[in-house]
Chain A
């Protein structure tokens, strides 16, 4: 289901591991998100070279790849922070690449985004950070908002840190608060940019479990960008491997881990 770099795709095809490459049109019915032919370049550097992806409701898709292969760019294109050079992004059936700002903002409210470094508003407390989207986009009373913030922070184990400022909590705690903020409007789609990067193994595991819990309880479609293979193994329904701007292989963790393709094998031999 991808426009792939011919060289690498051939290698994937030869190994017989590209079984999961599907027709996006076939999968798009009922899909939370459909990406077709996404291209993005910065000057002479091509970052994404024709990416096709479909993410179904309730599915967790993990995007793997070496640094600089455009994984974070992919998420920023989906949320509309950057525009693709060409290609289509449909979220809940609505095209966002050609939509005006108001329409994009409407679609954004159906998505939650966890930034790599959490990107909490440093002038607001933990409580105010989580309340921010609620205050902006709902008609909740202060009391209702307070209850909802409590509930969200309890869900990530941060209910006792309400009044603390982001600078007073650890990186792992910031990620949890970021996750609670991303979930505030009960989005149908979660975009998580390296949720476990820079965290110790125990905190990483806790974040993974949180993602699984959200997936089970709320049936959200998620795209998770990560370098953490253990995390990918735990949370992924499906994994896509990006290389030189192309999605070169797709499948479950075990399918990719078993691949004898040189690049995939090199990627998976570490940690797994």
Chain B
């Protein structure tokens, strides 16, 4: 029983001695997860400060960064493109009947482009990368931690926060917007294919209709908010991996928690960023 869960003595009357353990138990069960959450955030803050401090010093690990850009970026491309295509095609199929009902069939290209570029493309990319890259980083670093490879890196005079964490986080930040552009393109293209199979329309006309009345800045903020998703995914996955303990089970837990927490925080960040974008780019 910690001090935090102590019940003030004045709350516990002499005539109700049986209540004390019950109240204490209730306090404990309520406090324990809150305490764990605060502790996790504290550790994450310390981890982030170590990464930032390490990042400011030479060498800048260009070779490892390029390897991570390839691993996180180009190797995620097929999955992201497929997910983007599926979203675009489903949007076209689902929206068609609704728009037809309101006599607004001509709005279908604009609806697909707007939905994909503004919301579906960035979020789907964030979640797909959370799954693929989050699990990969969590498991890789977790495995390195439990087999003392991270200790070996540190013992050889190399900063693991820079070599392992900073390079992965930066690669996530740089690649997420590019992957989002790919997902957007595939989503719009798949939307056009789904639309044109029912009611043929040229791709040029579809794009003209879809992007008509929008400006470049309309797409800038939604696309670049995925850089924040990249920061979240990279940081959480590296953090969970590098604090892994307990053998192979611990590695599994790190991989799972990386995906769950990264996905959760990507969704939360999306809500906050959408609100901010609406405020600053009305």
A interface with B by C-beta (< 8 Å): 76, 79-81, 101-102, 105-106, 108-109, 111, 113, 115-117, 119-122, 132-133, 136-137, 181
Contact = CB atoms under 8 A, between A and B. Distances in A.
B69 to A, nearest CB: 16
Closest 4 pairs (CB-CB, A-B): A119-B152, A119-B148, A108-B157, A105-B157
A120 B157 CA distance: 15
A136 B151 contact: no
Contacts of A109: 156-157
A81 B152 CA distance: 9
B70 interface: no
B151 A132 contact: no
30 contacts: A76-B151, A79-B155, A81-B151, A81-B154, A81-B155, A101-B159, A106-B157, A108-B154, A108-B155, A108-B157, A109-B156, A109-B157, A113-B152, A115-B151, A115-B152, A116-B148, A117-B147, A119-B148, A119-B151, A120-B149, A121-B144, A121-B149, A121-B152, A121-B153, A132-B156, A133-B156, A133-B157, A136-B157, A136-B158, A137-B157
A113 B155 contact: yes
A119 B147 contact: yes
Contacts of B149: 119-122
Contacts of A116: 148
Interface residues of B, number: 15
Nearest to B161: A101
Interface string B127-158: 00000000000000001100111011111111
Contacts of A108: 154-157
Given A105-B159, A121-B144, A133-B156, 17 more contacts: A80-B154, A108-B154, A108-B156, A108-B157, A109-B157, A111-B155, A113-B152, A113-B156, A115-B151, A116-B148, A117-B147, A119-B151, A119-B152, A122-B144, A122-B149, A136-B158, A137-B157
Contacts of A80: 154
Nearest to B53: A101
Contacts of B154: 80-81, 108
B70 to A, nearest CB: 14
A106 B151 CA distance: 16
A102 B53 CA distance: 12
Contacts of A122: 143-144, 147, 149
A115 to B, nearest CB: 5
B159 A117 contact: no
Contacts of B157: 105-106, 108-109, 133, 136-137
A213 B158 CA distance: 28
Nearest to B59: A136
A167 to B, nearest CB: 11
A263 B249 CA distance: 37
B66 to A, nearest CB: 15
Nearest to B151: A81
Nearest to A105: B157
B247 to A, nearest CB: 12
Contacts of B144: 121-122
A79 B144 CA distance: 19
A92 to B, nearest CB: 14
A99 B57 CA distance: 17
Nearest to A193: B148
Contacts of A111: 155
B149 to A, nearest CB: 5
A11 B165 CA distance: 50
A137 B159 CA distance: 12
A250 to B, nearest CB: 26
A30 B51 CA distance: 38
B158 A117 contact: no
The CB with the most chain B CB atoms within 10 A, among A105, A106, A109, A137, is that of: A105
Contacts of A117: 147-148
A102 B94 CA distance: 59
A128 to B, nearest CB: 12
A62 to B, nearest CB: 20
Nearest to B67: A123
Nearest to A102: B57
A109 B155 CA distance: 8
Nearest to B150: A119
A105 B159 CA distance: 8
A79 B148 CA distance: 14
A4 to B, nearest CB: 29
A116 B57 CA distance: 31
Nearest to A116: B148
